[in-house]
């Protein structure tokens, strides 16, 4: 083919969409982002209904100005974590450096499937996750892989545990707290196990799994046990299971211990007083952690960590005949996901931006806000279950009144720009505040207490 023949080859991009327009478009996005960011504190956490923009592509691609017009209602109609009243869920405002990492990640468009598609980023992921695993006490050889969220990480860990225990294709069961996350039920379904294979161990008055009752149940179990799961931060009250005693039981019985640390494991990156909140994570064979839930690393930054990371490739590796061989297992050989963006960039940049001092400040601030809210609510006639982390949940003492009360009070709070969630816990509706938003101050906490008080005595 003559080089001039290329001139007649049709361009695959519509007019105005060639690569040289990328920087101009990014500049317009950044300019508009500055405006959105400046007015974010004035917009409600949960927006009122806003019509969707057009969905189908137009015959010709839109220019930058039209694209910004389409983006405007999307931003205005989205949940707003930047508002100081955003206290409903485990979604704090994103770390600035991780937002920058998201942009660079998209521009690089590297694929963590295989090392030749992400030569340096694959090494960066292994090195950073190895450092985190060592920091959490899993050992010098520990490591893992990032995935799209805590649920995928938990499924990855439990499939690996099943394979390591030689239980592939067999009936097996899983033990966890009665307050465990629903990702365990999803994992069982993925593995072809019945819902009844999830054995729920009782919890004590603090919402923590009772290790004595667990040991008794394990003694009576007649089916193979693929793993025991300790939860480091339950979703509704933030309770941390006694990982040390559970680890002792698993070691004595030769069982795999998985720690669901999606919420609380980041405490292990702090100083000693924070590490003590999730003590003995070093007993885990596998562990999930999700820094987006507390440190504000832009979604997603979830990871599964293993004491022996080779177990991931043992469980998941499949031939990648179309790729050059790697010095170690390809990223696509180490979990359920094949194609993955370089989420590690956001995590790496975010942690570098925070530094050790910044991590401590985020942990300290959230815990102090939770203590402040508990103190403000303490005089009221509420049931307020204890917790170990930065979550506060509560309901009226009067049994059976929680459904209507929680709905009315949540709306009362929303009307003031204060957003709490309304989970169901042990048959009753609670209001729940997650105090990980660094912009939430004493003013918002006092307003929550005042509104709750008014709802109780109206």
Residue 377: what pLDDT? 98
Query: For residues 393 and 391, what is the distance between their CA atoms, to the nearest angstrom?
Result: 7
**Rounded to an integer, what distance in angstroms lies between the CA atom of residue 36 and that of residue 75?**
8
Residue 444 exposure: Cα atoms within 13 Å on the Cβ side: 24
Q: What is the pLDDT of residue 280?
A: 98
Record the pTM: 0.94
| Nearest-angstrom CA–CA distance, 389 and 264 | 7
The pLDDT value recorded for residue 10 is 65
* Spans in the chain with pLDDT lower than 50: 1
Rounded distance between C-alpha atoms, residue 83 and residue 438, angstroms: 10
Report d(CA 259, CA 144) in Å as an integer: 14
How many other CB atoms sit within 10 Å of the CB of residue 235?
23
pLDDT tens digits for range 40-89: 999 999 998 888 989 999 898 888 899 999 999 999 999 999 999 999 99
Name the residue among 283, 281, 242 with its Cα closest to residue 262: 281
Q: What is the CATH number of domain 100-351?
A: 3.40.640.10
Q: Judge whether 436 and 367 are in contact, CB under 8 Å.
A: no
- Which option is the CATH number for 356-456: 3.90.1150.170, 2.170.120.12, 3.30.70.1140, 3.40.930.10? 3.90.1150.170
The DSSP annotation for 131-198 comes to HHHHHTTS-TT-EEEEESSHHHHHHHHHHHHHHHTT-TTS--EEEEETT--THHHHHHHHTT--GGGE
Contacts of 195 (CB under 8 A, 6+ apart): 185, 188, 189
Alpha-carbon separation of residue 165 from 75, 307, 311, 315, 407 (angstroms): 47, 15, 11, 11, 46
Q: What is the pLDDT of residues 217-250, one digit of tens each?
A: 999 999 999 999 999 999 999 999 999 999 999 9
pLDDT in tens, 87-116: 999 999 999 999 999 999 999 999 999 999
Q: In sequence order, what are the beta bridge partners of 393?
A: 432
Q: Which residues of 424-456 are buried (b: 16+ CB within 10 A; e: fewer)?
A: ebeebbbbbbbbbbeebeeebbebbbebbbebb
Instruction: Read off the tokens for 286.
Output: 């596998």
How are the residues of the chain apportioned to helix, strand and coil, as percentages rounded to the nearest 5? Answer: 45, 15, 40
Residue 355, sorted as left (phi over 0), alpha (psi -120 to 50) or beta, turns out to be: left
């Amino acid at each position: 083919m003559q080089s001039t023949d290329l001139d007649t080859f049709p361009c695959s991009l519509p007019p105005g969409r060639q690569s040289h327009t990328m920087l101009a478009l990014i500049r317009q996005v950044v300019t508009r982002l500055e405006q959105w960011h400046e007015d974010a504190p004035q917009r409600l956490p949960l927006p009122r209904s806003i019509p969707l923009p057009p969905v189908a592509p137009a015959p010709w691609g839109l220019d930058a100005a039209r694209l910004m017009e389409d983006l405007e209602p999307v931003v205005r109609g989205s949940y707003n974590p930047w508002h100081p009243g955003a206290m409903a869920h485990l979604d704090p405002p994103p770390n600035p450096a991780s937002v920058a990492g998201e942009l660079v990640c998209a521009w690089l468009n590297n694929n963590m499937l295989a090392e030749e598609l992400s030569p340096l980023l694959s090494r960066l992921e292994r090195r950073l996750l190895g450092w985190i695993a060592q920091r959490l006490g899993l050992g010098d050889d520990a490591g893992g892989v990032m995935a799209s969220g805590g649920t995928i990480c938990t499924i990855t860990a439990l499939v690996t545990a099943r394979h390591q225990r030689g239980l592939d294709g067999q009936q097996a069961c899983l033990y966890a707290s009665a307050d465990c996350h629903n990702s365990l039920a999803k994992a069982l379904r993925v593995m072809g196990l019945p819902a009844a294979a999830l054995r729920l161990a009782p919890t004590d008055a603090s919402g923590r799994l009772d290790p004595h009752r667990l040991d008794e149940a394990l003694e009576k179990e007649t089916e193979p046990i693929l793993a025991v799961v300790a939860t480091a931060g339950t979703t509704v009250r933030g309770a941390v299971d006694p990982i040390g005693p559970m680890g002792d039981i698993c070691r004595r019985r030769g069982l795999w211990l998985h720690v669901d640390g999606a919420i609380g494991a980041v405490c292990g990156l702090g100083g000693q007083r924070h590490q003590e909140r999730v003590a003995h994570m070093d007993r885990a064979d596998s562990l999930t952690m999700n820094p987006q839930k507390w440190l504000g690393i832009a979604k997603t930054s979830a990871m599964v960590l293993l004491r022996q990371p080779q177990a991931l490739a043992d469980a998941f590796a499949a031939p990648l005949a179309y790729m050059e061989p790697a010095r170690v297992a390809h990223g696509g050989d180490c979990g359920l996901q094949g194609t993955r963006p370089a989420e590690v960039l956001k995590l790496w940049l975010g942690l570098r931006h925070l530094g050790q001092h910044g991590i401590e400040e985020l942990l300290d601030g959230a815990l102090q806000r939770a203590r402040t809210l508990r103190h403000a609510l303490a005089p009221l006639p509420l049931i307020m279950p204890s917790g170990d982390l930065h979550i506060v949940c509560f309901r009226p003492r009067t049994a059976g009144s929680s459904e209507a009360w929680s709905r009315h009070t949540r709306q009362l709070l929303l009307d003031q720009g204060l957003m709490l969630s309304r989970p169901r816990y042990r048959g009753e509706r609670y209001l729940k505040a997650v105090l990980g938003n660094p912009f939430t101050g004493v003013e918002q906490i006092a307003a929550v207490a005042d509104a709750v008080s008014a709802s109780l005595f109206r």
